[in-house]
Amino acid sequence: MQLRSPFLPVTATSGRDLAERLAQLVIGLFLYGVALGFMVRGGIGVAPWDVLALGVSEQFGLGYGLVTVLVSIVVLLLWIPLRQRVGIGTVLNALLIGPSADLTLTVVPAPPSVWIGAPMFVAGLVLLAFATGLYIAADFGPGPRDGLMTGLVARTGWRVWIVRTLIEGSVLVIGFVLGGPVGVGTVLFAFGVGPLVGVFLPWATRMRAARSQQLARTSRV
Residue 9 contacts residue 140 (beta carbons within 8 Å): yes
- Mean pLDDT of the region 109-117: 94
Residues 166-213 have pLDDT tens digits of 998 999 999 999 999 999 999 999 888 888 988 888 898 888 888 888
How high is the pLDDT of residue 10? 53
Domain boundaries, the chain: 13-216
Strands annotated E in 7-130: 8-12
86 has a pLDDT exceeding 90: no
Residues 145, 146, 151, 154, Cα dihedral to 10°: 150
Q: Collect all residues with Cβ–Cβ distance below 8 Å to 29 and sequence separation of at least 6.
A: 92, 93, 96, 97, 100, 131, 135
| Rounded distance between C-alpha atoms, residue 45 and residue 187, angstroms | 8
Binned at pLDDT 50, 70 and 90, residue 221 comes out as low
102 pLDDT higher than 90? yes
Residue 106 has pLDDT above 90, yes or no: yes
